[in-house]
Amino acid sequence: METVWLDERPDLMAMVDTPDLSPGPVHAYYDPVAVEFWPLLYEEFPDYQTCLLDGERLVAKACSIPLWWERPDAELPDEGWDWALRQGFTDRRAGREPSALCALWIVVSSERRGTGLSPVMVASLRDTAARHGLPVLYAPVAPSRKADYPLIDMQDYACWTLADGQAPFDPWLRVHWRLGGTILHACQRSMVVPGTVSDWQEWSGLAIPGSGSYVVPRALAPVELDLDRDLGVYTEPNIWVRHDIS
């Protein structure tokens, strides 16, 4: 298999967002920040998007964006993913030189999940940072098993470990940790997705007969539904992880 950057293979542009490499959850595509900026990411930052090829078959992708950040890690914004995507475009348009890379998304095709490609794609993001001379890679990580525990606070969840008391309980956090990533702190408002009640019924497949907090499939925290206002808001927490690039 071969890892390439999208600027080297622009012919892959039409393949990177096929359904198999855009598995959802559906509500994530309605985050207003994603709606505004994601369609521009591959065109404006192709040299920061990596593709894993098996022959000519695209089997995984890793998306990232450069941005300026020189404040302490403890001050990384609570807005996480939304902040990073918006900040990368803001910095580019203001002519600011980036000082860090931020991971946005890693997806492995359905037929290759569970075959050990996730660490390969995290490593490809580290290579992307090194390629551009950026000393650090940040990632607002959406832990892969958090949706099984939507009522647990993200900061508490991030502290869970396996029986050895060291390795993170969550498999996705564990991938980053094993590759040398430092688990920092929760960004509690990493992605905010508003929608009408009918939107959330469609996205979740649930009936919504009354106002309240709803546990929605594949959501990391409950969705707050208010029928009187015809509004549902999902506020997704993530975990900031730092990788130093030598």
Which pLDDT tens digit goes with each residue over 165-201? 999 999 999 999 999 999 999 999 999 999 999 999 9
Radius of gyration of the chain (CA): 18
Distance between CA atoms of residues 60 and 38, nearest Å: 18
Q: What is the pLDDT of residue 95?
A: 96
pLDDT bin (cut points 50, 70, 90) of residue 100 is very high
Distance CA 125, CA 62 (A): 7
> Please, which pLDDT band fits residue 103 given cuts at 50, 70 and 90?
very high
Confidence category of residue 22, pLDDT binned at 50, 70, 90: confident
Separation CA 238–CA 222 (nearest Å):
14
Residue 168: count of CB within 10 angstroms of its CB: 23
- The pLDDT of residue 113 is 80
More confident residue, 15 or 126: 126
Report the percent of the chain where pLDDT is more than 90. Answer: 87
For each of the domains in the chain, give its residue range(s) and CATH number, in order of start. Answer: 2-190+238-244 (3.40.630.30)
Per residue in 50-76, pLDDT tens?
Answer: 999 988 888 999 999 999 999 999 999
